[in-house]
Amino acid sequence: MVEVTVTPQSSLADRPVHIQARGLSPSQEVTLRASLTDEHGETFQARAFFRADAGGEVDPGRHAALGGSYAGVCPMGLLWFLQPDSLFRRLVKRDVAGSPFLVRLEVFDGFRLVTTPQDQPLASCEVERWYVGPGVQRVPVREGRVRGALFLPP
């Protein structure tokens, strides 16, 4: 049975995570895709093509991506190379303290530049990427023409 895991499943956005797909056939060609929908309903995606090792595993931190959104060994590539489906959009987190970005990771059989709703992933999981740690207090700053936010640790 194929499975994709991300450790830890919930983390701060600037912390590294370990992505791994297991249960594949040796040398099986697969596409790993990361996707998220931001607060405005815009979708962002990244994909990378891999060939499983002799044990049927794919680990972006050890195995080189053969193409897609990036190439080579890049443990966080699926999260760093998220691109908008619509032109001229930027990935910006508006509500940094209230909710995380929910990133869906999926494994597809073969190299897929485009996936349709009919394409069923071999495995999938969801990851939380938070922008503010637990207990951090956000204080709005308005002084003259200065606008911003001060984040105070617990």
Q: How far apart are CA 124 and CA 132, in angstroms?
A: 26
pLDDT tens string 129-141: 999 999 999 999 9
Write down all domains in the chain, each with its CATH number in brackets: 3-152 (2.60.40.2240)
What is the distance between the alpha carbons of residues 66 and 58, in angstroms, rounded to a whole number?
Answer: 12
E strand or H helix at 80, and its extent? helix 77-80
- pLDDT at residue 115, rounded to an integer: 84
Tell me, what's the pLDDT at 95?
87
How crowded is the C-beta side of 7, counted as CA atoms within 13 Å? Answer: 8
